[in-house]
A and B are shown apart, each in its own frame.
Chain A
Amino acid sequence: MDDNLFEKLRILSDAAKYDVSCVSSGVERKNNSVGGIGNASAAGICHAWSSDGRCISLLKILLTNDCIYDCKYCLNRVTNPVKRASFTPEEVAELTIQFYRRNYIEGLFLSSAVEKSPDYTMENIYRTLELLRYKYNFWGYVHVKVIPGANSLLVQKAGMLADRMSVNIELPTKASLHLLAPQKKAENILQPMSLIHNEISRAIEDKSHFKNAERFVPGGQSTQMIIGATPDSDRTILNVSQNLYDKYRMKRVFFSAYIPVASSPNLPAVSTMPPLVREHRLYQADWLMRFYYFNSEELFTEIEPNLDLEFDPKMMYALRHLDKFPIEINKASYEELLRIPGLGVTSAQRIIRERKNAELSYDSLKKMKTVLKRAKYFMTVKGKYYGNTKFDPDSIKNEIRMKEIQKQISIFEFQGWGTHP
């Protein structure tokens, strides 16, 4: 390792840090290879938390920031005078191993700008994977980006060695993509997505017939889009997400609040703050779609295409459908329990389990550490309502607002920014 490694690492981690996904979950693998190092844990492991409170699970770097494209929202666009650097595949592999041996990381997340051509870049990504898996015998987690426009054979070869792959959809609509990244074609993004989806399905099918079937991206594929760089509404964004989940069986769709890095007539002013609360609301909505049986359309009304910034989307849903509440804790089905604002998957499961023995009381909910500060307005326990307010949207909102002010809770103290499954 020579000394300009520090310089390269600085440039290429700085350029990668805005990438959201850092998840290492979804793959369970023992270290079964003779002389091998590494395994993967299905739940994922976070290794460090940087001063912005984000989890660091994988070594997240770019192979190069030397880009031929000129996407308006990107720091590495060809017309931006930033310092350029490129790692060799050997350097990335060596760094990954050395960090992994010291338990700094769970594996590698390799992304890249497009250097010379999509094929040239994808080839280097593949070579890094090949070195790690075969030369270093590394069986920790590896996530690689797919470069749109690269030869599909390369994508396929990489998929046999990676745990997760992702193709960035970048922006929610074709029109936005055309406006800000005119050199990127929507077809070039969707084509590898569909290839990965088909190969994953095939690998799963093969596995049910042959014991030693080839594996293909066992951790599934994900994608990410930038929020707030274009005027697309939350409804558009979530409908696109729903589509991606349905059509390509995406494991995750990540949202990244746009941090102004350039001035352009097509972009928000450089002084604009990144829309962090909006990003948080979108993640909550995304969660509702994946684990709470919500459909994206249920989260909006005909007149309002954006999520509320003051209250979370489940709460807003409940306030618009008060006729379906309050829900009796001792009678409701699992799905109904999940509709109660503030009540999560763990609590719902615990309620179902515990009430098999005896009817639940308000006190036993508290003992279970169920968070009731929002839930209590939308439920009854043994027929009794504990909300202590009039049962209409404005009264409930006001009551919660007052409690919030008393507690001085900052809305920024949320968890789970790209950290959980």
Chain B
Amino acid sequence: MNYLYDGTFEGLMTAVYYHYKKEKADGIYELNSYQQSIVFQSEVVNTDISKAKTVSDAINKLISREAYIHIYYCHLSNAIDKENIILDFLIFAFKYGRNTMNFYTHEKVLPINEIYKKVAREEHRILGILRFSDIGGILYAKYSPDNDVSILLAEHFADRYKYEKFIIYDEKRKKTVIYSDNNWEIKENINIDNIEFSANEKRIHNLWKQYFTDLAIEERKNLNLQFQFVPARYRKDMTEFK
């Protein structure tokens, strides 16, 4: 049986629930991108919060918190076939329990570790290079990450800018984090056009650009190293490279 889910983490966990409680899964796929198969039957999974929680709790309790976080990050990644990498891992992990994560290089565990590392690395990088602008008192940032890390950024900035209002816009996924008054929510299918900045805002952008340029030491110039840290694909949304 191929289970088709709605792309949410809870949906994925519900599909895992069905694998154990209903019928063994041959695979789990996102409904939107699923190509009908001649060999396998398919069934659409209705996301069910309490079934999802049963699976999440089991992962935390029987495997480990570390495994749970790894799976969660994997689910946010852009890796092809991540659902089945997660499913394979869980089948292995529920057998080996608390010892699972010590099998770092096992073929069922290694992919999870590698994907996790990629997503975590991008998350950390974006925490630094996301750029906000002040639009009439609201802080606004636009970016296009490889992985769907918006939800990971929300907590960080909600604490840092607790008494501000901010919007983080993932242009690639048309997904938006909106924060004000201690609350953040994620809205999908939103289009935000290019925004005009006020004269004062442009002044601050220019101050930053000037500072950024002046700080480089000519005698130590190393553009390759700079590209390693800030790959070209991120630069279009960074004030200092505009």
Contacts and interface: CB of A to CB of B under 8 A. Distances in A.
B105 A104 contact: no
Contacts of A310: none
A160 interface: no
A282 to B, nearest CB: 16
A262 to B, nearest CB: 15
Contact of A51 (B105, B164, B216): B216
Interface stretch (A41-49, A165-173, A211-219, A312-320): A41-49
Nearest to B204: A98
Given A9-B207, A101-B132, A357-B99, A17 B214 contact: yes
A370 to B, nearest CB: 10
A39 B105 contact: no
Interface string A269-309: 00001101000000000000000000000000000000000
Dominant secondary structure at the A interface: loop
A98 B224 CA distance: 30
B225 A18 contact: no
A364 B104 CA distance: 9
B195 to A, nearest CB: 14
B212 to A, nearest CB: 6
Interface string A404-421: 000000001101000000
Interface stretch (B7-15, B29-37, B133-141, B186-194): B133-141
B225 A102 contact: no
B219 A259 contact: yes
A394 B225 CA distance: 32
Interface centre among A5, A50, A55, A367 (most CB of B within 10 A): A50
A10 B104 contact: no
Nearest to B217: A52
B210 A104 contact: no
Contacts of B228: 53, 415
B207 A5 contact: yes
Contact of B203 (A1, A41, A103): A1
A356 interface: yes
A350 interface: yes
A60 B214 CA distance: 11
25 contacts: A5-B207, A6-B207, A9-B210, A9-B211, A9-B214, A13-B214, A17-B214, A37-B161, A41-B127, A45-B127, A51-B216, A52-B217, A53-B226, A59-B211, A101-B161, A101-B164, A102-B133, A103-B130, A103-B131, A259-B219, A350-B104, A354-B102, A357-B99, A412-B222, A413-B222
Given A51-B226, A412-B225, A413-B224, 5 more contacts: A36-B163, A37-B160, A50-B215, A52-B216, A53-B222
Nearest first, the 7 A-B pairs at minimum CB distance are A53-B225, A50-B216, A52-B220, A53-B222, A367-B105, A49-B229, A51-B216
